[in-house]
Structure 1
Amino acid sequence: MTKTIFITGASKGFGRLWAEAFLKRGDRVVATARNTDALSDLVDKYGDAILPIQLNVNDREKGFAAIQQAKAHFGTLDVVINNAGYGLFGTIEETSEQEARDQIETNVFGTLWITQAALPVMREQGFGHIIQVTSVLGLVTLPNLGLYNASKFAVEAISETLASEVSDFGIKVTLVEPNGFSTDWGGPSAVHSKALPQYDAVRAKLAEGLTEDFVGDPEATSEAILKVVDEENPPLRIFFGKVGLPWVNQVYTDRLATWEAWREVSEAAHGGAKVL
């Protein structure tokens, strides 16, 4: 069955790969990008099956307009994939106020605005699937990416809450959590804070730990996203890549052990029973 897929950040990386994967199999794609010229070859190849829309997801009003344009053009809105975002590299001390605000503005609020815009359409239809591209760093953290970690943790919390709020409307929510992939996320698309030499050792240690095994092949994610979209009962969360699950498993095992070790103090902090 042909679906209408709305994808933000479709000019490169996952967004570009997934847009073409959907088009190849006959779906209709609304592809948003800051520069739609990057989508011209897909328009030439797939014609009316793709609707390119120029969009900066930070602009809430234009985000709402883009969703309405997509609905008016194709008549339905089956899937929204919030993929737009970028990585900010810098320690907490190094990160400037503007860099921090810009990171949250795009990764959190940009995702929120498109989600809010899509919900009335999907509620009226009685169906829909919202897919948020977060990261394994929305569940665990790495140094030198503190604000990026924070942005993805926020999207995780917003989206988990959303899933419990909209299930009765027939709307499904999935959080896609990739580990590292060889896109330009860590290259031209990234922003770097002004480095302080005091943190050079932190960065060096991080670089040592990011082995080739950490980095996946972006092309391999296309089949995975098709399976998620086609699943009648999709998962709330799914890792893309082989690194995320064992990493999170270890981190949460350690957290649970610490919480258990401090259980007595935690329960004492509850205090005595109160009569209401």
Structure 2
Amino acid sequence: MSGKTWLITGASAGFGREWTEAALERGDRVAAFSRSADAFDGLAETHGEAILPLRVDITDRAEVLDAVRRVTEHFGGIDIVINNADYGLFGMVEEVTELQARDQLEVNLFGSLWVTQAVLPYLRGRGSGHLIQVSSIAGVYSLPGLGLYHASKFAVEGFTASLAAEVEDFGVKVTLIEPAGYATDWAGSSAVQAERSSVYDDFRAAMTRPAAKRGEPGATRAAILQIVDADEPPLRIFFGQGPLPLIKKEYAARIEEWERWDEVSQAAFGG
């Protein structure tokens, strides 16, 4: 028994559910954050006090702080924190409403930030711990129709990279997991669709592609356990097939364009 204590947000479905079960099945303890605490009744029957289901609104900073305090009091500490809760907002940038845009950032960005801020004092205090942010291939690569989702994930990538340097000397490890497409509910009932404008109908028709094969969420169990058990875990890791060649091509194109415009860039510096 490893005896580690996990805190996982968005733990009731998808990756969160898979990783909650993987941790419990090997004898670890899990504080499972979700919008519905009764989603874990079956796990509680099987694993008893090893699971602490909590109904938490991660967009409410005060509620998050209180929930994290309850976790530390219940389990005596936290070893692994996984910010997994998010959802997809589908729509062209022009189509997204103000409320939809703000809600997307509240959950995907600020929810992750509030949990991070809440757990760091405990991790720093014990001089150890592992904070894992579930980003996405959409945090390093953009497609039309997902602009605000990309914005949320690029933001998570940005603050997490800074955070990793800030907490390294305190013994806290940080990892960004960047999954490709998986057969979760991310694009299903949990997604939000902006009202479509007819001006983009031709563009949508042109960008329609055959459905890509999606990975199996359960196949990530071994990977997450390997990451949390690593002495030197990665700052960034893709989950799934396809991201690495795609990003190699994308970054090569970026460098080529920067180089092509470098004369203008240099001149913009002044004398």
Q: TM-score range by the shorter chain?
A: over 0.9
Residue aligning to 1:114: 115
Output one character per residue of 1:220-265: Cα deviation in whole Å (capped at 9) or x when no partner: 1111111111111000000000121111111000000000111111
Q: 2:132, 2:231 → 1: CA distance? A: 14
**TM-score relative to the length of structure 2:** 0.97
Residue aligning to 1:156: 157
Q: 1:236, 1:206 → 2: CA distance? A: 33
Residue aligning to 2:39: 38
Deviation at 1:209? Answer: 5.4
Gaps of 5+ in 1: none
Native 8 Å contact 1:87 1:148 kept in 2: yes
Residue aligning to 2:73: 72
> In 2 relative to 1, CA 198–209 (structure 1 residues): closer, same or farther, beyond 3 Å?
farther
Residue aligning to 1:97: 98
Deviation at 1:207? Answer: 3.5
Native 8 Å contact 1:91 1:145 kept in 2: yes
Residue aligning to 1:27: 28
Q: 1:153, 1:209 → 2: CA distance? A: 26
Segment drifting more, 154-163 vs 68-77: 68-77
Question: Does residue 1:266 correspond to 2:255, yes or no?
Answer: no
Output one character per residue of 1:126-145: Cα deviation in whole Å (capped at 9) or x when no partner: 00110000101000101111
> In 2 relative to 1, CA 271–110 (structure 1 residues): closer, same or farther, beyond 3 Å?
same
- RMSD between superposed Cα atoms in Å: 1.0
Segment drifting more, 194-203 vs 132-141: 194-203
Question: Does residue 1:173 correspond to 2:201, yes or no?
Answer: no
Deviation at 1:206? Answer: 3.9
Q: 2:51, 2:179 → 1: CA distance? A: 26
Q: 2:104, 2:234 → 1: CA distance? A: 27
> In 2 relative to 1, CA 102–251 (structure 1 residues): closer, same or farther, beyond 3 Å?
same
Native 8 Å contact 1:143 1:202 kept in 2: no
Q: 1:132, 1:145 → 2: CA distance? A: 20
Could you say what secondary structure the match of 1:57 adopts? coil
Output one character per residue of 1:87-110: Cα deviation in whole Å (capped at 9) or x when no partner: 000000110000000000110000
> In 2 relative to 1, CA 117–253 (structure 1 residues): closer, same or farther, beyond 3 Å?
same
Native 8 Å contact 1:108 1:151 kept in 2: yes
AA of the residue aligned to 1:13: G
**TM-score relative to the length of structure 1:** 0.96
Q: 1:201, 1:188 → 2: CA distance? A: 26
What are the residue-to-residue correspondences of 1:237-256 with 2, within 5 Å? 237-256=236-255
Residue aligning to 2:204: 203
Deviation at 1:15? Answer: 0.4
Could you say what secondary structure the match of 1:163 adopts? helix
Work out the percentage of aligned pairs sharing the same amino acid. Answer: 53
Gaps of 5+ in 2: none
Aligned residues: 270
Residue aligning to 1:234: 233
Residue aligning to 2:194: 193
